[in-house]
Structure 1
Amino acid sequence: MDEMDKIFKALADSNRRKLLDQLFEKNGQTLNELCGHLDMTRQSVTKHLTILEEANLIIVEWQGRSKLHYLNTAPIGEIYGRWVKKFEHHRIVALKELKNSLKEENRE
């Protein structure tokens, strides 16, 4: 499976997106902290974190006996650049044209 496929697979699950949202709000959380916000077992959260780590969406750092999880936004930026940005341009141009058209209608 290529890297981009791993990212999309990881982002496809709502629980994994919730974990990423939690890390966005407060980066560097332990497993216990992350489990506190979800109605799932530690084992399930651990499996989701493993998938996120394999997709490089989170980075793990050991501090003593604590394992901290950090959000890595670089892969999401790559998705934006590869898949979203190129389609966004056409939408912006269409909105500008619509705005100009509506202005002209109001003038008439």
Structure 2
Amino acid sequence: MTTDDESLNRLFRALGDTTRRNIITELGKRDHQSLFELYTRVVSNHGIGQTRQGFSRHLTTLQEAGLIEIEWQGTTKLHSLNANPILQLKSGWLKSLEEDPQ
């Protein structure tokens, strides 16, 4: 398996979970959110019942897939969306499925 295949697999695993897609949705509305803020928005806006520890694991998965960027502000970790992997998927592998197979 090539590095590109591994990256694509990580991306699909990250996108394959409802909670993680809801996190992406909330980060798409506003970047630079703390864990507490993001957790509160996802739970209240999407009705997800999740512990903060479980929620943190979702953030780690998204970060490993390159979908979240982290910035420290003092002792607070701020999360922002990095949509580039999704855009690359859209213009790369998914685009190749639209092309004429001839």
TM-score, structure 2 normalization: 0.81
The structure with the largest alpha-carbon Rg is 1
Aligned positions of 1:11-90 closer than 5 A: 11-36=15-40, 37-38=42-43, 39-88=49-98
**Which range moved further: 23-32 or 37-46?**
37-46
Q: Counterpart of 1:29 in 2: which secondary structure?
A: coil
User: Which string of whole-angstrom CA distances, capped at 9 and with x for unpartnered residues, describes residues 8-67 of structure 1?
Assistant: 000000100000000000111000011112231110110000000000000111010110
* Aligned residue pair count: 90
- Stretches of structure 1 lacking an aligned partner (at least 5 in a row): 91-108
Coordinate RMSD, CA, aligned: 1.5
Higher relative contact order (CA 8 A, sep 6+): 2
TM-score, structure 1 normalization: 0.77
Letter in 1 for 2:57: K
Runs of 4+ in 1 over 4 A off after TM superposition: none
Q: Which amino acid aligns with 1:19?
A: I
